[in-house]
Amino acid sequence: MKKVLITGVSGGLGACLATEYLKMDYQVYGYDINDNDKVKALKDMYQEKFEFILMDTSSDESVLRAGTIIKQRTDSLDILINAAAILSLNSAKVLEEFDITQSLELFDVNTLGPLRVVKDLLSLIKKGEEKLIVNISSEAGSMTTHCDYITRYDYCMSKAALNMQSIILQRYLKKDGIKVLLVHPGWIKTDMGGQEAPLLPSESAKGIVRLTETYKDSVDMGMFFDYDGSTRAW
């Protein structure tokens, strides 16, 4: 049985990604700082095929503790999807009102969090069949197509930094046959995206899964895509 680990699994996109892979008969491991109704529904419906572990991506200790549990369950992972991210109310403030110090938590989750998880689980990914890392980025991290924001300094910067991190990871892990993908999930109807967003998280999740199937063996091909397969400009 193939195995995938998804961070941010209690969120709208994370839960939908978990559902898609469970339907494909993957063993799914989920990380999140919250255990909510979405997690309970996945547990109830899929039983032992879905395992949830409380984990805070901003904490080295929490990531290591969760990784110890995963390594007791399996000796390999086929896919790792880093979907955990936050957007604070502070992000929406103009520069004169923006609290720079509050941004440290956002960077710790959005940028350093994925790197912590990859570092901890890399030995399992190397032993997987599909050898794929997916970092959920954003158009906000593109220097070219960033929606002309005049706020969201920390969020945009955190996603741009995640993009650079992923480029370095792909360069480093190419020798191991590991593919790194960056995906803009679209403007989705979630707690972060808001209810006015035009895209359902289930639609985005289906597109992301199609991308993983298309590019999992292509370490020399593109990295940064929209959920629908369109190439996203850096």
Residue ranges covered by each domain of the chain: 3-226
User: What pLDDT sits at residue 148?
Assistant: 85
Question: Mind giving me the DSSP string for the chain?
Answer: --EEEEESTTSHHHHHHHHHHHHTT-EEEEEES---HHHHHHHHHHGGGEEEEE--TT-HHHHHHHHHHHHHH-S--SEEEE------GGGGS-GGG--TTTHHHHHIIIIIHHHHHHHHHHHHHHTSSS-EEEEE--GGG-SS-STT-SS-HHHHHHHHHHHHHHHHHHHHHGGGT-EEEEEE--SBSSTTT-TT-SB-HHHHHHHHHHHHHHHTT-TTS--EEETTSPBPP-
Q: What is the CATH number of domain 3-226?
A: 3.40.50.720
Backbone angles phi and psi of 78, in degrees to 5:
-85, -40
Question: Could you tell me the CA-to-CA distances from 31 to 18, 54, 176, 185 in Å, in that order?
Answer: 11, 6, 25, 19
pTM: 0.96
Q: Which stretches of the chain drop beneath a pLDDT of 70?
A: none
User: What pLDDT sits at residue 203?
Assistant: 96
User: What pLDDT sits at residue 193?
Assistant: 72
User: What pLDDT sits at residue 217?
Assistant: 84
pLDDT tens sequence across 170-197: 999 999 999 999 999 998 987 777 778 7
